[in-house]
Structure 1
Amino acid sequence: MFDQCRWLNEPARWSLDAAGLTVVTDASTDFWRETHYGFTRHSGHVFGRDAAEGFTATVRVQGRYEQLYDQAGLMVLVDEKTWIKAGVEWADDKALLASVLTVGQSDWAVGALESDASNFWLRATVDAGVLRLQVSQDGRLWPLVRLCPFPRSERYFVGPMCCTPERSGLEVRFSEFSIGPALRKDLHDLS
């Protein structure tokens, strides 16, 4: 699937091989829009491709988060004012499960991560104006992270995302990236 991807904010250092994508973040990269901090940033790295509504995207993320706001995961973007990013984010001296939904302004939802932050899977399903985020430690069991309204669009830009607002040099490995038809499972079906 990576052969169909293109960069939004291409980093200076990255490589692609048969096993996946490796990215080293540039300095002061982030996605954020206004709330609390009062600024807008749209400089984070995303290696994605277009998808139509009615999709499920999955990616495996491997990295070592060490400094404030180091983050990596998955992004679904309509435009600069409409997007969601989700994954691991380093804050309060630990790796947290985080998601930022932006529809004009950004929110920030964080929670405890009950699994290994250095190796996890994320899944995002966008269907019928709803976005479902799930996380997995093993790629088989998928607890719900977030369920929210998400604007309908003819096109979404979807792919692995990473940022380091306070530094450069976070190395992240992305693999097992796929986009397919929306999984229309029951909300409490964690498979």
Structure 2
Amino acid sequence: MQSLQTGQWLNPPPRAELSPDGLLVETGRGSDFWRETHYGFTRDSGHFLGVETPDGFTAQVRMRARFETLYDQAGLMVRIDERRWIKAGIELSDGQACLGSVLTVDRSDWATGPFEGDPSDVWMRMSLGGGVLRLQASRDGRHWPLVRLCPFPSSERYLVGPMACTPERAGLEVRFSDWSLGPHLRKDLHDLT
């Protein structure tokens, strides 16, 4: 298992405290990841602590935060470069904390829907192998419903880790804990453990 201690920051946040218990992040204003679609702009200013890993991995993390402002977001990211990445987690949209993901291969898409749980305490899991990414979310770290299954560009190496953004403000405090990064789980698609 690879530690967050080995991670490298893309756009370090104004405050980040890494300890054996996890990672505390406080976001900066105008931080975001997005490429072109609908809005017409590109932003690559979000906070991301990336741990390098080869293909065939599963990463998961628990995150706790109070989402209060439009587009407040926190979760996991897998990244090859500025044109190929996916981010997923909780994002505040239209006054509601939603479970969402943005897949970017040259341009960004956005898939989102209501989260049926406490959005202030959520677990995220990403499994990637052989060009297929499986995204899951959990309310308790034990039951893992599917959120998204999608193709993702193949690469010998990826960066994966916690991500947080606040396009409309500064000061979202996110606590990431229970980080793990290891070999792909290789579970059946309908195995929700």
SS in 2 for 1:41: strand
Residue matched to 1:7: 9
Equivalences for 1:126-137 in 2 at 5 Å? Answer: 126-137=128-139
Match in the other structure for 1:140: 142
Give per-residue Cα distances to partners, 1:36-57, cap 9 Å, x unaligned. 0000000000112111110000
What is residue 122 of structure 1 aligned with on the other side?
A: 124
Q: Which amino acid aligns with 1:176?
A: D
Q: Match of 1:29, as an amino acid?
A: S
* Distance in 2 (alpha carbons) for counterparts of 1:4 and 1:108: 30
Q: Which amino acid aligns with 1:131?
A: L
Matched residue type, 1:79: D
How far is the alpha carbon of 1:177 from its aligned partner? 1.0
Ranges in structure 2 where 5+ consecutive residues have no aligned partner: none
- Secondary structure at the counterpart of residue 186 of structure 1: coil
1:96-120 per-position Cα deviation (integer Å, ceiling 9, x unaligned): 0010000010000001101110001
Q: Deviations over 1:82-103 (max 9, x none)?
A: 0000000000101000100000
Whether 1:97 and 2:131 are equivalent positions in the alignment is no
Task: Give the root-mean-square deviation of aligned CA atoms.
Answer: 0.6
Partner of 1:30: 32
Measure the CA separation in 2 of the matches of 1:43 and 1:52: 25
Relative to the length of structure 2, the TM-score reads 0.98
Q: Could you list the per-position Cα deviations for residues 149-188 of structure 1 after superposition, in whole angstroms to 9, with x for gaps in the alignment?
A: 0000011110000000011000000011111000111100
Q: How many residues in Structure 1 have an aligned counterpart in Structure 2?
A: 191
Unmatched segments (≥5 aa) in structure 1 = none
| SS across alignment from 2:133 | strand
Moved over 2 A (4+): none
Identity %: 63
Q: What residue is the counterpart of 2:190 in the other structure?
A: 188
How far does residue 17 in structure 1 lie from its aligned partner after superposition? 1.7
Structure 2 Cα separation of the partners of residues 93 and 3 of structure 1: 35
SS at match of 1:3: helix
Aligned to 1:40: 42
Amino acid at match of 1:164: T
Letter aligned with residue 96 of structure 1: C
